[in-house]
Amino acid sequence: MNDETPIRTEASTPLPGSGAATPMMEQFIEIKAANPDSLLFYRMGDFYELFFEDAEIASRALGIVLTKRGKHQGLDIPMCGVPIHAADDYLQKLIGLGHRVAVCEQIEDPAEAKKRGSKSVVKRDVVRLVTPGTITEDKLLAPAESNFLMALGRVKGGSETRGGERVSATGSQASYALAWIELSTGIFRVAETSADNLLADIFRIDPRELILPEPVFYDAELKPVLDLVGRVANPQPPSLFDSASAPGRIARFFEVATPDSFGTFSRAELSAISGVIAYVEKTQKAERPPLSRPEREQSGSTLFIDPATRANLELLRTTSGARDGSLLKAIDRTVTGAGARLLADRLMSPLTDPKAIVRRLDSVAFFLPERQLAEALRACLKGVSDMPRALTRLALNRGGPRDLGALRSGFEAAMALRTLFADVETPAEICEALEAISALPVGFADHLTGALDDDLPLLKRDGGFVRAGYNSELDEMRALRDESRRVIAGMERDLSEETGIRSLKIRHNNVLGYYIEVTANHQAIMNGTDEAKARFIHRQTMASAMRFTTTELAEMETRIANAADRALAIELAAFDTLVAEAVAQAETIRAGAAALAALDVSAALAVLATSENWCRPVVDDSLAFEIVGGRHPVVEQALRAAGENAFVANDCDLSPEGGAKAGAIWLLTGPNMGGKSTFLRQNALIAILAQMGSFVPAASAHIGVVDRLFSRVGASDDLARGRSTFMVEMVETAAILNQAGARALVILDEIGRGTATFDGLSIAWAAVEYLHEKNRCRAIFATHFHEMTALAEKLPRLSNVTMRVKEWEGDVVFLHEVGKGAADRSYGVQVARLAGLPDAVVQRAKDVLHQLEAGETSGKADRLVDDLPLFSAVVRKETPPAPAKVDVVGAALAVLNLDEMTPRQAMEELYRLKELAARG
């Protein structure tokens, strides 16, 4: 890549000062009118130029200079531009800010335009729309993150799936579906959803762009959902989502007679599939990415986690948006980008089928005793480039030699793995992965190895990527091109000897090409005879030199120039052949790449389990939830990194007892800073890890499959929507109580704390009773309302547990241990002191708390004011320091010389010390 700033060519000609638009500006306005929702990158020579409002937006977003170029309708035309060689960097910034960019290229040779007249404009057209969900450039994509484009389809009076069965939806009732693709890797999935689950499913996939029909976008009923989705939502014409024409559109895209072989889809699913395909065709123009066929995701096959729970548990990112501190960051030990993306996908969509979960756990367990094999596998995979993304760029004509090299490195790793796993008995998931790897096209792999050089350039136009010996004509042309200096030097030597001019030189420039140069005093020799005049053709006269050429030199120049062009043409033809072979076998290559990613994830989770001392969970169809020695995976690693004390492990048992058909509820009390929130979250995370197919941070774990996970931990507000912290808490609690079933796991923390004491206690009390009697789910309910512990006598599946603490000389020590029983205090004043509140405030709080607990004020504020001195008096009062307590026993012990005492003397001293202690 050339870092020099190229010179603007066409853009350097100013527009006339009149108000009339030039032909070039007319062309820009016409193309811009066809792409009103995108910033137009208008190709002019070596720059992409932006004009009018586009230029103003881009200059602010990119921090580049805004200039002007002539006038239009009497006003200056704002203008800015970016060099083509650095366009990816600017695109990355614009896409990151949510902009869409239309890339307008010159589709005609300028020489052809001149044939139509000197003022003719080079033909241009938009060759691609760059949007957040359709980028494929390696520089614009994070290797470990998927970049999903999602489409929402809605059909009124269609069909939907309920309880695993397809039923008709009548009247105005609407059915919904989502289709999502990863354009850079070819993933294509579709699933039905509902209005209630829509937001949760969108957050589960976490798309970079969500396209939906304009009527749906402006539907008032969906406004709360789309407000939370934010600028990711992108309304499109409803014609893109027409379910009636969808089968035809799908068949044309995949070049099949009918899409029936893909499976049976509902009208809503067809609408979503049609929308995403139509948008791909719209943005990619003439190019067709190698998408896999739509794969239907069965309803209920993944663990339902609502958006609030995902945010609370910090699965992919922390609440501040950082990846450091998230669960994914704590568990990621993968060595490939594809493996990291697959791990994130599994984490966001844990399974609910015990058999499928056990298959994944078997593949992880396989590598635990096979440490050498696991390390050898990871060593092979470390050198593998991102095959799926390279394949997509090649198919879209955006790839280069290094993308072919990425395929080659993947094939080489696959061949090494086949040797590595030869004669090794493996579990089902690994066996299937090895079969997919074995199916990779060996012939094409050999072709790549034989055709590609070891050192590959970034761009195909640079040439030099085909291996020597692959093509004999190419070798011949390269020899002529590369040995031109030697050939020209020989001609120069021969001419110098023939003419006797020692200073004769053969030089080259871009205007004259190759020429012979002699000093002015030797021109007589060159022009002395008729024979010399006929041979040496005059080209240029300089002040101190003369320049000539000869027929032989001109012919040699032509041969040299043609050799370079011919060599590049041969290389480009070889590139096109290799790309065509790759695209023709895209499905097989993609399946092999997915197998490599699956092996990477299994080996990485085995490494994680070994290094962190995690155990294999038992996952089945029961309602069990028994965790022994459970730990929080993120907090434990953070404590270790900080060199602090080891994490305190805790048990949790929410399994049904005595033949009950519903899970237990733990009512958790204890002080702030005691570890309640950590304990709540760790059990939710253990469930997610187990069902994604990972070992878990515990001594042992038995988990009956959880179908819905709800977590209400922490406080937040939503001021933009007029919701206080308490209102947000109530909305989220309502969603939990309305949706949780017998297989759900519910984690609730401090329900009712945002309102008056008795109001909050009443809400929390009623919520626990509802969880017990109606939802009948497994749950942990943390609270500071100690009065609620009385519910254990009324509700048979409710147990009281508490975070243990110790008091020592007025201080509180948090043990971070969970044990049976109930706390009778919250130790809030002690926590306030630890936080650094002024001593006067802490002392005043203790006095108020003492009288409140003693009931002396009957809870009345006016009585409290009368019974206690004013706070100002407490502050002014000089409290004398308490006299130091003399430790008589300690002083007596300090003077004893134990080494010189006989046993009898020691016994006498012991009695004496006991007497001293009794006297105080």
677 is in an annotated binding site: yes
Q: Is residue 550 part of a domain?
A: no
CB 714 within 8 A of CB 312: yes
In eight-state DSSP terms, residue 173 is: -
The Cα angle at residue 691 between residues 690 and 692, in degrees rounded to 5:
95
In eight-state DSSP terms, residue 192 is: E
Amino acid at the residue 728: V
What is the SS3 assignment for 162? Answer: strand
List the one residue out of 547, 559, 507 whose CA is nearest residue 523.
547
CATH number at residue 628: 3.40.50.300
* pLDDT at residue number 781: 94
Distance in angstroms (rounded) separating the CA atoms of residues 720 and 727: 13
Distance in angstroms (rounded) separating the CA atoms of residues 337 and 146: 9
Q: What DSSP element (H or E) covers 806?
A: strand 798-808
List the one residue out of 709, 744, 740, 728 whose CA is nearest residue 224.
728
Distance in angstroms (rounded) separating the CA atoms of residues 541 and 549: 12
Which residues are registered as beta bridge partners of 709?
305, 745
What is the SS3 assignment for 483? Answer: coil
Q: Are residues 126 and 150 in the same domain?
A: no
Q: Are residues 151 and 291 in the same domain?
A: yes
738 is in an annotated binding site: no
In eight-state DSSP terms, residue 122 is: P
674 is in an annotated binding site: yes
Distance in angstroms (rounded) separating the CA atoms of residues 53 and 39: 9
Q: Is residue 540 part of a domain?
A: no
Strands 650-653 and 625-630: antiparallel
Q: Is residue 489 part of a domain?
A: no
Q: Are residues 843 and 815 in the same domain?
A: no
CB 588 within 8 A of CB 407: no
- Burial of 334-349, coded b for 16+ CB within 10 Å and e otherwise, reads bbbbbbbbbbbbbbbb
Distance in angstroms (rounded) separating the CA atoms of residues 261 and 273: 15
Per DSSP, helices labelled H in 337-455 are 337-348, 354-367, 371-382, 387-395, 401-420, 428-438, 442-451
45 is in an annotated binding site: no
Q: Is residue 541 part of a domain?
A: no
List the one residue out of 803, 826, 827, 807 whose CA is nearest residue 816.
803
Q: Are residues 688 and 792 in the same domain?
A: yes
676 is in an annotated binding site: yes
Q: What DSSP element (H or E) covers 330?
A: helix 327-331
Of 105, 130, 155, the domain-final residue: 130
Please list the ranges in the chain whose pLDDT falls under 50. 1-19, 160-171, 717-720, 857-859, 872-879
* pLDDT at residue number 779: 95
- The domain total for the chain is 6
CB 812 within 8 A of CB 833: no
Whole-structure pTM over 0.75, yes or no? yes
CB 815 within 8 A of CB 804: yes
Between the two ends of the chain, the Cα-to-Cα distance in Å is 86
663 is in an annotated binding site: no
Please state at what angle helix 551-584 crosses helix 387-395, rounded to 10 degrees: 120
* pLDDT at residue number 869: 54
Distance in angstroms (rounded) separating the CA atoms of residues 709 and 204: 13
Q: Are residues 346 and 436 in the same domain?
A: yes
Q: Are residues 74 and 196 in the same domain?
A: no
Q: Are residues 864 and 897 in the same domain?
A: no
CB 801 within 8 A of CB 819: yes
Q: Are residues 869 and 809 in the same domain?
A: no
Q: Is 372 left (phi over 0), alpha (psi -120 to 50) or beta?
A: alpha
Distance in angstroms (rounded) separating the CA atoms of residues 407 and 400: 12
Each residue's pLDDT tens digit, 205-232: 999 999 999 999 999 999 989 988 988 9
Q: Is residue 708 part of a domain?
A: yes
Distance in angstroms (rounded) separating the CA atoms of residues 686 and 612: 14
CATH number at residue 369: 1.10.1420.10
List the one residue out of 227, 238, 225 whose CA is nearest residue 194.
225
List the one residue out of 275, 277, 97, 250 whose CA is nearest residue 183.
277
* pLDDT at residue number 218: 93
Three-state helix/strand/coil letters over 131-152: CCCCCCCHHHCCCCCCCCEEEE
* pLDDT at residue number 126: 93
Kindly report the number of other CB atoms within 10 A of residue 48's CB atom: 25
Per DSSP, helices labelled H in 740-881 are 757-770, 828-835, 839-854, 861-867, 871-876
Q: Is residue 343 part of a domain?
A: yes
List the one residue out of 184, 33, 9, 183 whose CA is nearest residue 84.
9
* pLDDT at residue number 919: 61
CB 516 within 8 A of CB 495: yes
The Cα angle at residue 615 between residues 609 and 616, in degrees rounded to 5:
100
* pLDDT at residue number 169: 46
Q: Are residues 290 and 165 in the same domain?
A: yes
Three-state helix/strand/coil letters over 673-693: CCCHHHHHHHHHHHHHHHHHC
Amino acid at the residue 59: S
Q: Is residue 585 part of a domain?
A: no
Q: Are residues 38 and 178 in the same domain?
A: no
Of 76, 95, 130, the domain-final residue: 130
Q: Are residues 342 and 217 in the same domain?
A: no
* pLDDT at residue number 4: 37
354 is in an annotated binding site: no
Which residues are registered as beta bridge partners of 295?
189
Q: Are residues 120 and 204 in the same domain?
A: no
Q: Is residue 242 part of a domain?
A: yes
Per DSSP, helices labelled H in 163-287 are 198-205, 214-217, 223-229, 246-254, 267-284
User: Which domain covers residue 857, as residue numbers?
Assistant: 837-876
> What is the arrangement of strands in the sheet containing 650-653, beginning at the earlier edge strand?
618-620, 700-704, 625-630, 650-653
Three-state helix/strand/coil letters over 528-573: CCHHHHHHCEEEEECCCEEEEECHHHHHHHHHHHHHHHHHHHHHHH
* pLDDT at residue number 839: 75
Distance in angstroms (rounded) separating the CA atoms of residues 720 and 57: 26
Strands 778-782 and 798-808: unpaired
Of 299, 322, 347, the domain-final residue: 299
670 is in an annotated binding site: yes
CA distances from 302 to 280, 461, 717 (A): 27, 47, 29
Q: What DSSP element (H or E) covers 664?
A: none
Burial class, 454, CB count within 10 angstroms (exposed 0-12 / middle 13-18 / buried 19+)? exposed
* pLDDT at residue number 538: 86
Which residues are registered as beta bridge partners of 466?
452
